[in-house]
Amino acid sequence: MIRDAKRHMLQAPARAAGETEDRCDAASGGQDASSDEHDGNRIGALSHELAAVKGVLDVTLNNVEQGIMMIDADHYVRLYNKKFVDLLEIPKKVLTDPLHFQQIIEFQWSIGEFGGVSEDIASWIRSGGIFKSPPVYERRRPNGTVLEVRTTMLEDGGAVRTFSDVTDRCKKEEALKRAELEYRSLFENAVVGIYRSTVDGRQLRANPALVQLNGYASEDEMLVNVNDIGREWYVDPKRRDQFLDEMRSKGRVTDFVSEVYRHKTREKIWVSETAWCVRSEDGKPVVFEGTVLDASARMHSEAKIAFMAHHDMLTGLPNRAYLTQRIESALCDIRSSGRFAVHYLDLDRFKEINDTLGHAAGDTLLRLAGRRLKKCVRASDIVARLGGDEFAVIQLDVHDDAEAEELAARMVRSLSTPYRIGSHYANVGASVGIAIAPGDGHDVQALIKNADIALYEAKAGGRRTHRRFHASMEAGLQERRQIEVDLRGALARREFIVEFQPVISLASGETEGFEALIRWQRPERGQVAPSVFIPIAEEIGIIESIGEWVLREAARQVACLPGTPFVAVNLSPFQFRSRGIVKTIMSAIAAAGLPPSRLVLEITENVLLRDDKSTRDALNHLRQLGAKIALDDFGAGHSSLHYLSKFKFDKFKIDRSFIAAFENDRAASAVVRAVIHMGRDLGVSVVAEGVETQKQLDGLKALGCHAAQGFFLAEPRAIDDWIATMETTNDEPAAPLNSRSEGEANRRRFGERRATPS
């Protein structure tokens, strides 16, 4: 409201309304009448003009957006407008005339107008109000509106104050501030790297995550050091060109994975970038912005998954899928790169190692076998593990068959060398089947199948050997499959028989006992040797029932013999997997009425390979019950003297390979001598296996060997053949050793009473 006082705005500043009028009156006091009239007219005109101006001012002041108030040097309010009253919500009763500024302040204090202001503002309001205030300040009113208060000091000591409602602007600023804070927080705390760079590759901003990813301590350090992202960052500089191409064509890249250098350390890492181009209004690229993620772990796991899809995890060698692919591509390239061989390998008796030494040892052996194979081949050849104990090798660029056979022989030799696993030595052999492309197969399946057929043939041929595929072998494979089928039913069809080979005391020439040896009478095929079908029975899991049958049969038959000969029964390592082995054995001999003291159980070192307490317990239990335990084929297997300290044997049976070489080979005869001496020292009786000549017999006798077994003395035969002999030897002089003519000669040379079939 512009009151009378407002008029003074157009005049020289005055202290108060009354004073101004006085001054006007005083100014007109000393003039004559005409001039009075003239002056009167002039004044009238001026008043009129003034009123017009006042009107304009009134309208203007009351229509501006700001509240306006003017005070004089004595702090009397000389002018204010409607907006001033509205903005400050000053009630009419406060707006007295005259109106002192202090009245307004007091009113405002009384209604808590300054409740929300800072202590700073409050203190200068208290101490002097308008004249102590800064030229511009903002304060929030109790109703939430924010006023910008501007004070302009006037020369006469008064002041003009304007009030603007800046609530909206403040809200916008606050929102902006909040947003800025939020974005800053995101930028600072994001775990992904965030950047802005120039289009030509200069880094402009980098958040802490990106700074850290690049090995720097601060953003400043990074910005100073990164000048050309394209040249300095990507391991493959062409990658930057691809990045720029995509940016140009699509305006952004998404999950753009590249290998880059960690800027500071130059260590190679993988990153995934998602970036976009920020353009000016006219569409020109201004900057690139984007996020960067460390993708190293992802790339490594992707590489690992890809590796896993094509590799065997145990040995790290390529797997069957990879082998198949490589054979396929070798077949495609056959014109340019020539013939190639597929070798299919299988470890002999690996299962035994797994069963006796445990799976961890089996795994170690497979890893060692893989390494050995890699050493046998050229870098361009491929060694794969197909699963279990099966491996395959692709030998590229094979000029002639001999080359492939040489490699196969080399691999067999290498794989057959004993493996050291912890404190054990494990012995496995290997068999290899070879198929050479393109002759032995025009596609992957045919090649693998034919190499597999050749492998079967190698196994059937006595293992530790290799065979080259031949079309006729398919029949052989079918034969082996047929053996498996027939073997499964052999026990039920009563196709097994047991033969007995006498074990003869070298001191007395008497038959101490018999070794029971199983034979399979295969209908229409004749007799099959145990060395052929026992490993198959072990492989197909029927050895336990066959072993039990042999025990019962052998005990029953030997129990019928006169005298008290022992019966020696061979036990497969697989039979020790059964917890009830002691019970099975004892019930078998009990059923036959054979005392345990007449039972010898022959085991090979394989049984003891695994330091298995339950096996040792079973053997000790059997010994306690009176059975004797013989170490069969001594010297042929792992031959760790360690076993001898672990278990007390009753007999050592020297492997027949030493006896065969005994006459001519000094090393073999040294072994035989050592075993006999060792037996003597340990109180273990020693039996020589496979004695075939008089000379061997004489030599063994001279060395003090306790007993012998062999074709020269007696071949394995049915028990009936021995019943008569045993009866004869009880009261008659020595009969012929065996039915062959040389038996007579042997008898004369041996010159002792001995077992003889009737």
Of 634-693, which residues contact ligand C2E (CB under 6 A)?
A: 656, 689-692
User: Toward ligand C2E, which CB reaches closer, 292 or 534?
Assistant: 534
Q: For residues 438 and 530, which CB has a smaller minimum distance to ligand C2E in the complex?
A: 530
Q: Is 615 in the site for Mg ion (CB under 5 A)?
A: no
Closer by beta carbon to Mg ion, 531 or else 730: 531
The H or E element that residue 146 is part of is strand 146-153
Contact 520, 533 (CB under 8 A): yes
What is the Cα 603 distance to its own chain's centre?
Answer: 42
Between 465 and 504, how does the x/- string for binding to ligand C2E read (CB under 6 A)?
------------------------------------x---
Q: Does residue 548 belong to the site contacting Mg ion (CB under 5 A)?
A: no
721's contact among ligand C2E, Mg ion, none, with CB below 5 to 8 A by partner kind, is none
Q: Is-contact 755 736, C-beta < 8 A?
A: no
DSSP β-ladder status, 628-634 and 599-603 = parallel
| Cβ atoms of 668 and 662 closer than 8 Å | yes
Cis check: omega of the bond before 98, within 30 degrees of 0 = yes
> What six digits make up the tokens of 449?
């199948």
The closest alpha carbon to 368, from 421, 311, 429, belongs to 421
Residue (452 or 602) nearer to Mg ion, CB = 602
Q: Which of 165, 348, 355, 602 is close enough to bind Mg ion by CB under 5 A?
A: 602
**Looking at 570, 728, 729, 738, which residue binds ligand C2E (CB under 6 A)?**
570
Single out the segment in contact with ligand C2E by CB under 6 A; choices: 247-255, 260-268, 310-318, 570-578.
Answer: 570-578
Query: Least separation, in Å, of the C-beta of 530 and ligand C2E?
Result: 4
Alpha helices in 161-259 (DSSP H): 167-189, 208-213, 219-225, 229-232, 238-250
For the bound state, the minimum distance from the C-beta of residue 543 to ligand C2E, rounded and expressed in Å, comes to: 7
| Torsion angle (degrees, nearest 10) of CA 574, 575, 580, 586 | -170
Residue 709 and residue 502 in contact, taking contact as beta carbons nearer than 8 Å: yes
- Is residue 441 within 8 A of residue 449, CB to CB? The reply is yes
| 716 contacts ligand C2E (rule: CB under 6 A) | yes
Binding pattern to Mg ion, positions 677-696, x when CB under 5 A?
------------x-------
Q: Which does 711 bind (CB under 5 to 8 A by kind): ligand C2E, Mg ion, none?
A: ligand C2E
- What distance lies between CA 74 and its chain's CA centroid? 88
Helices (H), 29-133: 33-63, 82-88, 101-110, 119-128
**For ligand C2E, how many residues bind (rule: CB under 6 A)?**
24
- Write out the binding residues for ligand C2E, residues 106-135 only, by CB under 6 A: none
What is the total count of residues that contact Mg ion (CB under 5 A)?
A: 5
Identify which of residues 389 and 632 has a Cβ nearer to Mg ion in the complex.
632
Closest CA to 187 of 106, 320, 291: 291
Q: Which is nearer to ligand C2E, 164 or 501 (CB)?
A: 501
79 near 68, Cβ under 8 Å? yes
**CA atoms of 737 and 744, how far apart (whole Å):** 7
586-645 residues in contact with ligand C2E (CB under 6 A) are 602, 632-633
Q: Which is nearer to Mg ion, 207 or 709 (CB)?
A: 709
User: Number of C-alpha atoms within 13 angstroms, CB side, residue 79?
Assistant: 22
Angle at CA of residue 89, ends 84 and 91, nearest 5°? 105
Residues 117-156 that bind Mg ion (CB under 5 A): none
Nearer Cβ to ligand C2E (211/618): 618
- Rounded Cα distance between 147 and 164, Å, is 5
| Interface mask toward Mg ion for 625-644; x: CB under 5 A | -------xx-----------
H-helix or E-strand spanning residue 259? strand 252-261
Instruction: Quote the least distance from Cβ 554 to ligand C2E, whole Å.
Output: 8
Least distance to ligand C2E, CB of residue 551, Å: 8
Contact region with ligand C2E (CB under 6 A), list: 141-149, 341-349, 462-470, 707-715: 707-715
Site for ligand C2E in 523-562 (CB under 6 A): 529-531, 534, 547, 550
| Residues in contact with ligand C2E by the rule CB under 6 A | 501, 517-518, 529-531, 534, 547, 550, 570-572, 602, 632-633, 656, 689-692, 709-711, 716
| Residues in contact with Mg ion by the rule CB under 5 A | 570, 602, 632-633, 689
